[in-house]
Structure 1
């Protein structure tokens, strides 16, 4: 199909279900690349293999060039004011477009342009303007991140024998299955995981410093529990196997002892 006599093909991507839409998009991309003209795909559906599972991605639009190359088009609501936009929002849009570019390059085996077309409102008007955003670094970073992900098959193989998480299992059996799997809780989990509250309760019961956040956990080094932190602050050993000796060589333990001494001095209690 062509829109408004412009000579730009706009193929129909209607199909049933995600798999059908992805297949229709794949066919439209192949036909557009072979036609040797301009084409715009409105809200296509792409696929990308992530850790052994298929993820469906829906960019705003794709532009197919006469030479068969493809440009990712991202349409955003934040404005471009006097020729510049919020760098954080532009960076987020570039990372999002990089995922689409990677799906096109690796899933569809197409020649993807190294720049995405970012479309935003001009100043405070409803008039659109566009600019190119480089994707090379973002695509490389995304490819590295995906390569480091643990595959679903490997995760399943590491589960305890007989562990089953089917929703129709008895609550006691489900609880035992969840308890059998180690978890590293962080406050960020609350926004992404339905089991975050369960893991948070476990972390609090165990006194794990991970419940205080990844930044705190990183600053405390080998001190993994609140008990070990308090023991180090008092100048004693970790006391629970999470530290060695009195922690004399641990920078985190030294910093804790110094902080405890300063606090005691500030409170007028003197150094212990």
Structure 2
């Protein structure tokens, strides 16, 4: 990486399996990018190889979005690394290189996407993750799963205990949980009860980091004062709210003029 930053002609054009580090929630985390690519005098690109196919020019939008978010994180971390080494973070391109199979064959196909906004959003998301120690400290010391796991106890008592535990530690429901987890319906019920953002799908969750419920998103779109974690997306929500109000009121104004 130092050779790339210094513009060394002998610097590698491809770094396979680059390991990138950062601090997340007070814990050092490592991520392995499929590849970092560069040519002499050009920018550094982050690339990712995925197995889902592009059929007739289209791919699963959720999988594409998740892959682009993944590359956006690699770009963010690579820029941090370049900065730590004394280089210009702008040397790292804001475009993602995504390699996927074409149609039903195994022909690798390269697509290049601008993920500048995703990189900025990923930066806000990483910064908004609470410290792991704070999360642990918020869980009561007497917390235990023994009551829930004891099948000899009353079922309603076990369910009430599970709800009480979830009130403290939370849940993280997604639609894919239904096919992989026996507690998915429990978490889905709580998501509906609390109007959680996950009900609108993973794309909405990715677009609104720091906002935890649909009701709160509606409040921010109406101009409610945001908290610090909500501030980056509050402006966008308020703008969307104004555009929606204008679109709804326009037909009424036209009818009034008639």
Report TM bin, short chain.
0.5 to 0.7
RMSD: 4.0
Q: Does 2:18 match 1:33?
A: no
Match of 2:44 in 1: 70
Give the number of equivalent residue pairs.
Answer: 172
Match of 2:132 in 1: 152
Match of 1:126 in 2: 106
**Which structure's CA Rg is the greater one?**
1
Q: How does 1:62-211 map to 2 (within 5 A)?
A: 62-67=36-41, 69-82=43-56, 84-88=57-61, 89-109=63-83, 110=89, 111-155=91-135, 158=138, 163=141, 182-185=168-171
Paired residue secondary structure (1:213): helix
In structure 1, stretches of 5+ residues that fail to align are 1-28, 166-170, 173-177, 201-209, 220-272
8 Å contact 2:20–2:30 — kept in the other structure? yes
Paired residue secondary structure (2:93): coil
In structure 2, stretches of 5+ residues that fail to align are 84-88, 148-163, 197-258
Once residues 67 and 154 of structure 1 are traced to their aligned partners in structure 2, the CA distance between those partners, rounded to angstroms, is: 45
1:20-70 C-alpha deviation (Å, 9 max, x unpaired): xxxxxxxxx112332145510111211121111111111111102323631
> TM-score when scaled to structure 2?
0.53
User: Cα distance, 1:141 vs. partner?
Assistant: 1.4
> TM-score when scaled to structure 1?
0.50
- By relative contact order (CA 8 Å, sep 6+), the higher-ranking structure is 2
